[in-house]
Each structure stands twice: as structure tokens, then as C-alpha cells.
Amino acid sequence: MKILVCISKTPDTTAKIAFTDNNTKFAEAGVQWIINPYDEWYALVRAIELKEANPAITIHLLHVGGTDSEPIIRKALALGGDEAIRVNADPTDSYFVAAQIAEVVRSGGYDLVLTGKETIDYNNGAIGGMVAELLDFPYVALATGLNVEGSTATVKREIEGGEETVEVSLPVVVGCQKGMAEARIPNMRGIMAARTKPLKVTEPVAAEPLTLVAEFGMPPAKAGVKLLSADNVEELVRLLHEEARVI
């Protein structure tokens, strides 16, 4: 069985956020980049667990991005991927990225495609569904558990107020989230091995982006706190009604 794990590059959660070009681009200077946690901790680690149970499984990693992304790809290889593919393109649009992933899946004959449920920077959660649609594969989102027996995948996923378990025939696309696996860190053996694992670079296929960033904006600054005397109930009611507008 061949598993393709899609990984994306996101800013570290401690990074200072700023924008350039009239607030249409993210300012990347000085930013520490990491593997998107949903891709690393849940999608990739679950793929590794499946391979540990069945050594015949092959894990390929896929990233759409420039040469500056290669350090995070190598980290993913150090965790346990067998080889990696980098599509040499700027991932500015979800549809464009999904089209690149779908093309790799078509040519690679993958049985299982794993993505994180979303990236922590854009929170779109769009890639998995788009890839499945382009490939005419079933798609299971918000997955918290995954097992594979033969040509059938059993997936647990969150639903409103509970959880459901579904069975689906391979090939399938699964969007992974917390609960799928326990996070790991690369060991020295994995780090050393990652230096020689194949990292193939391919050029993107033609795909017209469907969206364009018009403007980024920072959330409004928090307002100051007003302190009232405990016995000044009338003023509290007035503020809640006229300023906070919650009553």
C-alpha cells in the first residue's frame, strides 16, 4: 500500500505577524517556519504507525512550495517518510494546491491520501475536499482515528454532539485532526537518514487559481478595562447595554 501525506509550511505560533504590499502579502522576513501541526502530528504520525504495523507500506510526502521549504520536508523525512516530492510552485490558492496534489496522486497510484484538517495560518480546511473531488475519491474529514484492513479503511470522525465510525473502500482522502495519533519528535537516527532520502522536485501542472487575496488585516486592539464599584449596578447595566451591547 502507498500512502501520500500532504504537508504544508506554516509560521510558528510565536511568530510576529505583519503584512506588506498594501496588506496583500504576509511578511516572511525573520519568521520561523514549521510543518503545519495537523499535517505532522496527526496525518504523518498516523501513516508512520500504520507502516510500523505493516512494513510493506510506503510513505511518500508531498509539499507545494519553493526551495526554502526543504528544511521542513527533511524534518518530515526524519520522522519517518520514505521519500518526498516538492512541487516547485508558490501555494497561493487552495484550488491550485489541490490540483498539484491530485496530479501527483494520479501519476503515483496512491491508495491513501492524508492531510491535516486545516493549516493553522489560513484555517481553510479546503484542500482535502478539493483533492477528493478532483480525483473522484471519497473524502472523510475531521478524522480522529484510522485503521486499514486490506482494501477497506475504518475511520472515526467527529460529528455534532458525538462521533461516528465509517468504512470506506480505498483509495480515499482523509483529513486528520487531534486524536488521530500522538505527536513524535525526530530521533538522531531519523535525522541522519533523512539527509540521503530522495527528495524529488517537479514542476507544477497548469491550474488557474480561483481566489486572490484582496487584503489582510490585524484584529482590532483590545479596548481598555473599566472598573466599577461593586454597588454601582446601574452603571454596570448602562455599560452592558450601551457600550458592550450584550443586553
Where residue 150 sits, what CATH number does that domain have?
A: 3.40.50.620
Domain that holds residue 183: 2-218
| Radius of gyration of the CA atoms of the chain, in A | 22
Extract the C-alpha cell encoding 237: 447595566
In whole angstroms, what is the distance from residue 10 CA to residue 38 CA? 11
Is residue 223 assigned to a domain?
Answer: no
Question: For 161-198, what is each residue's pLDDT tens digit?
Answer: 889 999 999 999 999 999 999 888 878 888 888 888 99
Distance of CA 24 to the CA centre of its chain: 22
Closest by Cα among 136, 116, 140, 21 to 61: 116
Is residue 232 assigned to a domain?
Answer: no
What integer is the mean pLDDT of 212-239?
A: 85
Q: Which residues pair with 59 in a beta bridge?
A: 3
Is residue 74 assigned to a domain?
Answer: yes
pLDDT in the model for residue 74? 94
Is residue 231 assigned to a domain?
Answer: no
Question: For 71-124, what is each residue's pLDDT tens digit?
Answer: 999 999 999 999 999 999 998 899 999 999 999 999 999 999 999 999 988 888
pLDDT in the model for residue 31? 87
Query: Environment class of residue 149 by beta-carbon count within 10 Å: exposed (0-12), middle (13-18) or buried (19+)?
Result: exposed
- Positive or negative: CA dihedral 130, 131, 134, 135: negative
Structurally, the chain folds into a number of domains equal to 1
β-bridge pairing 112-116 and 162-169: unpaired
Question: For 113-134, what is each residue's pLDDT tens digit?
Answer: 999 999 988 888 899 999 999 9
Is residue 228 assigned to a domain?
Answer: no
Q: Which residues pair with 178 in a beta bridge?
A: none
What pTM did the predictor assign? Answer: 0.85
Is residue 239 assigned to a domain?
Answer: no
Is residue 229 assigned to a domain?
Answer: no
Is residue 155 assigned to a domain?
Answer: yes
